[in-house]
């Protein structure tokens, strides 16, 4: 028969194993984000800058602006994961998405038609 101390120790070992597994999973997600950021930078002029923003439920948006002005977003499970992925990818992070970073964004006909569509009956959101 197990004593209370033996049961507690077994519970702690199970929790420790679960935490380690979750940590490995989070590290894989962070590594995948870093690869995606690097691929974005490479395909959009060889470099990129980014800005991190909390979007709710613990998640963080990584807004990216390539050297050629193209932009995109990725979502990370946490702020720390987003920051770590950006650092692994070697991109500069800005505090805000305004000023110099916003001025680098290049929008095309698609973005303009979507923005106008929301206002004046353009293409429907699909």
Backbone angles phi, psi at 41, to 5 degrees: -60, -45
pTM of the model: 0.74
* Residue 21 confidence (pLDDT) above 90: no
- d(CA 61, CA 73) in angstroms, rounded, equals 7
Q: Are strands 59-66 and 48-56 parallel, antiparallel or unpaired?
A: antiparallel
pLDDT digits (tens, 9 = 90+) for 49-82: 999 999 999 999 999 999 999 999 999 999 999 9
């Amino acid at each position: 028969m197990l004593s209370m101390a033996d049961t507690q120790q077994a519970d702690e070992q199970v929790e420790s194993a679960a935490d380690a597994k979750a940590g490995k999973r989070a590290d894989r997600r962070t590594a995948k984000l870093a690869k995606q950021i690097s691929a974005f930078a490479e395909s959009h002029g060889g470099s990129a800058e980014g800005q991190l923003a909390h979007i709710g439920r613990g998640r963080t948006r990584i807004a990216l602006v390539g050297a050629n002005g193209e932009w995109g977003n990725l979502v990370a499970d946490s702020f720390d994961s987003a920051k770590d992925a950006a650092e692994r990818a070697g991109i500069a992070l800005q505090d805000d998405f305004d000023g110099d970073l916003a001025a680098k964004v290049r929008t095309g006909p698609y973005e303009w038609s979507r923005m106008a569509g929301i206002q004046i009956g353009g293409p429907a959101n699909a």
